[in-house]
Amino acid sequence: MAFALAIPAISADNGKVYVIPIEAEVERGLQSFLERGIDEAEEAGAEAIVFEIDTPGGFVNAADGIARLLDETETETLAFVNQDALSAGAFLALHNDEIYMHPNGRMGAAQVIDQSGNAAADKANSAWLASMRSAAESSGRDPQFALAMADASIDLPEYRAAQGDLLTLGAQEALDVGYSEGTVSSLDELLEMKDLSGAEVVQVEENWSETLARFLTSPIVVPILLSVAGLGLLLELFTPGVGIPGFFGLFSLMLFFYGHLVAGLAGYESILLLVFGLGLILLEFFVPGGILGILGILAVIGSVLLAGEDVQSTAVAILIALLVASAGMVILVKFFGKKLNMFKRIILTDATDTEHGYVSAVNRPELIGQIARTTNALRPSGTIRLGDEYIDAVSEGRFIDSNKDVKIIKVEGSRIVVRELEKQEEEE
């Protein structure tokens, strides 16, 4: 009786199994979440960690970082391809100790593509092929199938991957070629196959900050945030005081850095560089000259590049933001007639024109109406003689020959305008 009672007690105390999802796009925000989940599992002394994979792939640099996390953990790692392990997802599955697939699961199609959606350059592709080979060999699998997932030149027609097509394995095919240890319909079936059915299952979920960080670091959201930041700050220059556009611009910039800080992409050095750049821009309003403002803008752009996931994608996002801000500025100036308000303190806007009473020399209004004689031809400028005084003058618009009587009709400082007398005026 004592032995019979001891059996359920032993099976009930079968340790813990942590289940961590790898879903959506593979990026650095996901890496931060997985790092936390693995740390929790190791601290709890888990028997195994099951990574439930359903991803179309993602960034190579993020996949490399996650692969290192998987390789460094001492806890047994099990990949459960619940639906798709494509591209970087296949690479991550190969870095687990064992792979199990759902009957409808797929694994493969792991060719590297660039920002335009085309095949990457030879240099990047060569490095990725080496990574795929190493991932397969480190887990004791035939590397030709991993290479065929990333290289369309490998000919495997029996697996629908003739030359020119990438390899994607189904559940049974993966089992046949040794890329899967078993086909299971559910997590419970996987645990039963691993003799872990009595273990406590701990589901690791993203917290709100990790979910927000993954959203804010998405390659689609980053250009939007930077564009809103650039356009908002630009609109603030056309708005007196502190208004809504400036608030949204700064808020978008804060969201960008918050997401990248939580995801582990941005360090405090990028935050300090941002603050330094904003400080230089503010100083430009009090110390005009342009140099401080240019240095401040460069510092802000540098801080964004430093916080980004990779220089190339972040540079593209910055370029998009600059184009959006430039288009916004053209629309404001051309179609709405807006003028910069914040620059009034550092830009001279007053005009020294005659409407405001400014003249370039002593004004002589007493000359208006007097008759003089041209000493040379006015084409339209020349010299006239008024009594014994020679004066520079311009015609009203027409050519006036020399030795002609002219009437002074307008005086604007040193500019004296004359008109040739008509015969009627000469007779009078």
pTM of the model: 0.65
Q: Which CATH architecture has domain 365-420?
A: Beta Barrel (2.40)
pLDDT digits (tens, 9 = 90+) for 237-282: 666 555 677 788 888 888 888 888 877 777 778 888 888 888 887 7
Three-state secondary structure call for residue 330: helix
pLDDT value of position 181:
95
Q: What is the pairing mode between strands 415-420 and 389-395?
A: parallel
* Token pair of 59 as six digits: 């960034």
pLDDT digits (tens, 9 = 90+) for 335-344: 666 555 544 5
16-206 is a CATH 3.90.226.10 domain: yes
Which of 109, 114, 20 has the alpha carbon at shortest distance from 56? Answer: 109
Which of 262, 273, 338 has the alpha carbon at shortest distance from 303? Answer: 273
pLDDT digits (tens, 9 = 90+) for 193-220: 999 988 999 999 988 888 888 888 877 8
Backbone angles phi, psi at 420, to 5 degrees: -65, 135
Residue 354 reports pLDDT greater than 90: no
Q: Which residues of 169-192 are buried (b: 16+ CB within 10 A; e: fewer)?
A: bbbebbbebebbbebbeebebbbe
pLDDT value of position 348:
53
**List of residues 6+ apart from 155 with CB closer than 8 A:** 161, 162, 163
Residue 303 reports pLDDT greater than 70: yes
Residue 171 reports pLDDT greater than 90: yes
Residue 358 reports pLDDT greater than 80: no
Backbone angles phi, psi at 176, to 5 degrees: -65, -40
Rounded CA separation 225/231 (Å): 10
pLDDT value of position 12:
40
**List of residues 6+ apart from 319 with CB closer than 8 A:** none
pLDDT value of position 5:
47
Torsion of CA 167, 173, 176, 180, to 10 degrees: 90
pLDDT value of position 21:
94
**List of residues 6+ apart from 335 with CB closer than 8 A:** none
CA angle, 122 then 125 then 126, to 5°? 80
Q: Which residues pair with 235 in a beta bridge?
A: none
**List of residues 6+ apart from 182 with CB closer than 8 A:** 100, 101, 175, 190, 193
Least confident of 62-76, 192-206, 304-318, 361-375: 304-318
The answer for 293, left when phi > 0, alpha when psi is -120 to 50, beta otherwise, is: alpha
pLDDT digits (tens, 9 = 90+) for 85-128: 999 999 999 999 999 999 999 999 988 775 555 555 667 788 89
